[in-house]
Amino acid sequence: MQDAAAALPAALLHLKTDETAADLCAAPGGKTAQMAASGAQVWAIELRPQRLRRLAENLARLNLPAETVQADAGAWVPPAPLDAVLLDAPCSATGTIRRHPDVPYLKQRGDVAALTETQDRLLTAAVAMLRPGGRLVYAVCSLQPEEGIERARAALGRLPLTVDAITAEEVPELDRGLTPEGFLRTHPGLWAERGGLDGFFIARFRKR
């Protein structure tokens, strides 16, 4: 099961059956399953073997195909440049506090700074995997601007990317979460009548 917000990043890739794509930091596999269900050829990259096993079990249960790879997503190289990459990056998970109220007590001073370094490294690697014109969706389940909009703006300044703006037509009931740049920020106050949803930051880019 995924929170509604967690289902958005893969959906916003708009994968087609003849495309190739990678899901970086893929376990437990909910987003990989969404991508595989599109009919695209999907590589699921996960560093930790026990998490990769869980991912493979989930894909087998759903009868969905994907190439599972145990590797550091920041070092993995695809066999050919990809049409699309999903990077749901490691983060502080502050957007999940409504469901996991222990999150603030598990974090240490300095965690966010260390995580932003990882996020920048993975963004650089993700762009290198793409063909020119390929799509990148960057997402974090965090409410912290350092991990979300600041990372997206920094990536635009140092990587060959342009914003592929998310539109109100794509997220008709969440358009209040759109930023002027075309990024999407969800938070528990959205969809309040349905119980809310997790806090996510989502940016979509094209490689120049």
Q: Which domains does the chain have, with CATH numbers?
A: 5-207 (3.40.50.150)
CA dist 36 and 41 (Å) reads 7
- 141 in catalytic set: yes
The catalytic residue among 139, 141, 161, 197 is 141
CB 42, CB 36: distance < 8 Å: yes
What is the chain's pLDDT, residue by residue, as a tens digit (208 residues)? 789 999 999 999 999 999 999 999 999 999 999 999 999 999 999 999 999 999 999 999 999 999 999 999 999 999 999 999 999 999 999 999 888 899 888 888 789 999 999 999 999 999 999 999 999 999 999 999 999 999 999 999 999 999 999 999 999 989 999 999 999 999 988 988 888 899 999 999 999 9
Determine the angle formed by the axes of helices 30-37 and 49-62, rounding to 10 degrees.
40
